[in-house]
Amino acid sequence: MDNKNNPAYSRTDNSKVVLKEDEWKNILSPEVYYISRQKGTERPYTSKFENFKEIGTYYCGACGNPLFKSDTKFDAGCGWPSFYEPISKSSIIYLPDNTLGMKRTEVECGRCKGHLGHVFEDGPPPTGLRYCINGVVLDFEKAQAAEKKYEDDKSKVKSQNSKGSE
């Protein structure tokens, strides 16, 4: 996912993102905008992450908020990437969704309030939950790349701190 022109995208900033809809429309691709901001749904079995097996972290494609670790992903057979647990309680916002004559729980990104999908109580242990997520609004970073970036960022902070104490 290309996020170079998205000033709201950050994998390290956890402050809330509040933008006007026209701002979102200008920085997100039409597909991500439709799902994230208009509560759309991608067609089942079309996500590149549906059968994806890489090890790493899934992020919100609109703002970069860490959402799920790959070791919580499982094959639910529902047509969308499914996870049994978010990275943290603050990663996700839960809202009642009674549209289309159904009682469901919508999940939004905890940072930008973008629509991600829904959570159902038919998942595997240990949570019994199935977070059914639109793959279009997911971004992914392999574990090795994430680890290297973490170490690089840690080194930068350490060198900045040592410069500040001189």
For the chain, percent of residues with pLDDT exceeding 70: 88
159 vs 93, more confident: 93
What's the CATH class of domain 21-159?
A: mainly beta
* pTM given for the model: 0.83
Mean pLDDT, residues 120-139 taken together: 97
Q: What is the SS3 assignment for 114?
A: coil
The DSSP secondary-structure symbol of 54 reads -
Q: Which residues are catalytic?
A: 132
Q: How confident is the model at residue 100 (pLDDT cuts 50, 70, 90)?
A: confident
Q: pLDDT digit string (tens) for 80-90?
A: 999 999 999 99
pLDDT for 99: 85
Query: Of 130, 126, 149, whose CA–CA distance to 56 is shortest?
Result: 149
> 49 to each of 26, 58, 108, 160, how far by Cα in Å?
25, 10, 18, 37
